[in-house]
Amino acid sequence: MKLESAYFDKIRLGQAEPEEKPTRLRACDAPGCKAEGTHKAPKGRKAEGQYFWFCINHVRDYNKTYNYFSGMNDDAVAAFQKEAIVGHRPTWRMGVDAKSAESQPPGGRAKAGWSSRGRGPFDAFKRGFEGRDAPPEPRRQVHNMERKSLKALGLDETATKEEVKARYKMLVKRHHPDANGGDRSLEDRLREIIQAYNYLKSIGTC
């Protein structure tokens, strides 16, 4: 490129502009500290969403002594921790709706909601919850040998332990030879009754 070139005339060597120092965003909130506040720290209870800005050294000191529950007694701390489980949202007992809970007197019982009344739409569950038409209890399973033994005593599978014992005593007295003037013709029947009773006793029926 020639020195007399028109392009050469346009080139100038200017002085380099000094670099601008970055401005500080904020000062450290620690008294007397001139460093930049680069770390935020919560101000504490009743000042949620508000923060201090500290330098790295002062934020470490602040975190060592920070206590959210400062000034609260043990009962207040326990209540806060319990409410924290549900995110500090209002709750109601099972079967109590929000409207009735709002109108509940202090220390009183809230008006029962749908679930605590025990009935659904159209009273579909009304009869069962009021104790009427309750389903019958399932009948226990009776095996053939037990059924035959009960039949030998003149009973069916619905007989209770007391009924079995009472029937056994009555039949023994009726068929015993001493009760029949020494007549031994009923011994086979008596033996059948005793065997049936012993079997029922062995399986816990009586």
Q: What is the pLDDT of residues 122-144, one digit of tens each?
A: 555 555 555 556 666 677 788 89
Domains along the sequence of the chain with CATH: 25-83 (no CATH), 92-103+110-130 (no CATH), 144-202 (1.10.287.110)
Q: What is the pLDDT of residues 37-62, one digit of tens each?
A: 888 888 887 778 899 999 999 999 98
Q: What DSSP string describes the chain?
A: --TT-HHHHT---PPPPPPPPPPPS-B-SSTT--SB--EEEE--TT-TT-EEEE-HHHHHHHHHH--TTTT--HHHHHHHHHHHTTTT-----TT--HHHHHTPPTTSPPPP-HHHHT--GGGTTHHHHTTTTPPPPPPPP--HHHHHHHHHTT--TT--HHHHHHHHHHHHHHHSGGGGTT--TTHHHHHHHHHHHHHHHHTT--
